[in-house]
Structure 1
Amino acid sequence: MAQIIPAILVDSLDAFQERLAALPGAKLFSIDIMNGTFVEPTTFADAHAVAAQGTQAQFELDLMVSDPLPIIEAWNVLPNTVRAIVQAELDVDVRDLLRTIRGMNLEAGLALLPSTRVSNIEHLLNETDMILVRGNDPGYSGRAYLPEMTDKILELRAFDPHLFINVDIGVNEITIPELVSAGATHLSVNSAIFSDPNPTEAFKRLQTLAKMS
């Protein structure tokens, strides 16, 4: 059984609002944040504009940026923000960054590129509340899941039976059973929800599948 987290990857406030409105039953959204540093694209990530909307939904920040701390600080003024996920491959002291995030009363997540081995981040697992396995290289939505990432999920699950493991990129009706069976507890979904003609029904359908798998 796993939780479906709708992922918002947009370039404007209007599009952000449309995503929220499409899923009135969703309690948590993952916000894909890019600014052209860690990955090429840029996305909408104006915390003050979102705060003005008065939404009750909670947010996790999926930060595909080279310097995530200022963005986390901006979003942390929103009580809705509950988790910040940073890349394991950053050219900073990642352990210190994770501890700083936890010191802000946020859950700290660590994302792994497909090329990053679990052995490279084992020393950081005690500093994290969640590991995010990238199903493919990040940057653009709609990329297919790389089957070899399932071995990474299995390795993480074997290392810690209680670890929260999230997967994003390529999560859909075809891949969800395999991901849950391997040990994923959370699944971030963008295209399989918002590219559907009826996002609300797509979300419900994926939720049911994730609970039954």
Structure 2
Amino acid sequence: MSTTPAARPRPIEIVPSVLPADFARLGDECAALETAGVDRIQWDVMDGVFVPNLTFGPDVIAACRPHAKVMFEAHLMVVDPDPMLGAYVDAGCEMLIVHAESVTHLHRSLNRVAELGAKPAVAINPSTPIDAVSHVLDLVDMVLVMTVNPGFGGQAYIATMEPKIAALRQLIDQSGSAGASGSGIDIEVDGGISADTIGGAAAAGANVLVSGSALYRYADGLAHGVADLRCRAEAASRA
């Protein structure tokens, strides 16, 4: 039996997707999310090819950057993200998430993100096994496990991803990798995260939790939603 101590849980972070926001006033929406206490803001960048939707170019994100100091992450759901990495860093995104399924040379793409001065992260779709990222853990600060098939907001959470999250957490802990920045590797989940589902994802080992539609539906406002989701996730991660 291994005597290696269990890894210390990573801090819980609540991250909104801006897909449900009012696109006519995105700058104000970013400011409101920061005031509500979010840990960072995710930009779902879609190209209409890798996923069936079109969303944010770097100019839109750059226009919103002065409205909030909180970290921006770009989730690049695009075919061949390499040529656009620099544009999203220049737009103010401090973390870039590339999909393992969309790049030809994953090591090269992640190294390029780091060279540009951003935090590298990798995402995997629901059907993609964790083996796809097992050999790049030293190059990333975060792995995103999709809990819906990417492309649209408001989809139902795929609960069968929880064993996959747990297996990834175990893989990360056993690897001993401190990630690209040396401060450890986060697991993010994105898709269907709500008051009803966040506990399962956090209990499985995810600590960065993306919520879009559910967060915006809180009747008492964004701040109440952020606090409630954080409380539920922290309780589940300690259980």
TM-score, normalised by the number of residues in structure 1: 0.90
Alignment correspondent of 1:160? 172
Report 1:20-99 matches (<5 A): 20-23=30-33, 24=35, 25-47=37-59, 50-51=62-63, 54-55=66-67, 56-78=69-91, 80-99=92-111
Alignment correspondent of 2:222? 199
Residue type matched to 1:36 in 2? G
Question: Structure 1: where are the runs of 5+ without partners?
Answer: none
Which stretch shows the higher mean deviation, 21-30 or 141-150? 21-30
Task: Give the drift of 1:89.
Answer: 0.4
Q: 8 Å contact 1:82–1:106 — kept in the other structure?
A: yes
Task: Give the drift of 1:124.
Answer: 1.9
Give a deviation string over 1:141-174, Cα, whole Å, max 9, x none. Answer: 1111111100111111111225310000011111
Instruction: State which of 4, 14, 24 in structure 1 corresponds to 2:14.
Output: 4
Residue type matched to 2:130 in 1? V
Question: Structure 2: where are the runs of 5+ without partners?
Answer: 1-10, 174-183
Residue type matched to 2:227 in 1? K
Residue type matched to 1:199 in 2? L
Alignment correspondent of 2:176? none
- Pairwise CA RMSD: 2.1
Q: 8 Å contact 2:187–2:207 — kept in the other structure?
A: yes
Residue type matched to 1:192 in 2? A
Residue type matched to 1:188 in 2? V
Q: 1:26 to 1:44 in 2, by over 3 A?
A: same
Which stretch shows the higher mean deviation, 109-118 or 49-58? 49-58
Distance between the aligned counterparts of 1:107 and 1:121, measured in 2?
16
Task: Give the drift of 1:26.
Answer: 3.0
Task: Give the drift of 1:48.
Answer: 5.9
Identity across the alignment (%): 30
Distance between the aligned counterparts of 2:38 and 2:232, measured in 1?
16
Distance between the aligned counterparts of 1:89 and 1:65, measured in 2?
10
Q: 8 Å contact 2:14–2:40 — kept in the other structure?
A: no
Distance between the aligned counterparts of 2:225 and 2:153, measured in 1?
17
Which stretch shows the higher mean deviation, 107-116 or 171-180? 171-180
Q: 1:52 to 1:130 in 2, by over 3 A?
A: closer
Give the number of equivalent residue pairs.
Answer: 212
Q: Given the alignment of the two structures, is residue 170 of structure 1 paired with residue 196 of structure 2, yes or no?
A: no
* Runs of 4+ displaced beyond 4 Å: 10-13
Give a deviation string over 1:155-195, Cα, whole Å, max 9, x none. Answer: 11111225310000011111111111111111111111123
Task: Give the drift of 1:212.
Answer: 2.6
Distance between the aligned counterparts of 1:177 and 1:41, measured in 2?
29
Q: 8 Å contact 1:3–1:211 — kept in the other structure?
A: no
Distance between the aligned counterparts of 2:208 and 2:81, measured in 1?
22
SS of structure 2 residue aligned to 1:205: helix
Give a deviation string over 1:33-62, Cα, whole Å, max 9, x none. Answer: 112121010013343663466222320011
Residue type matched to 2:80 in 1? D
Distance between the aligned counterparts of 2:164 and 2:65, measured in 1?
38
Q: 8 Å contact 2:51–2:151 — kept in the other structure?
A: yes
Alignment correspondent of 2:27? 17
Distance between the aligned counterparts of 2:198 and 2:135, measured in 1?
28
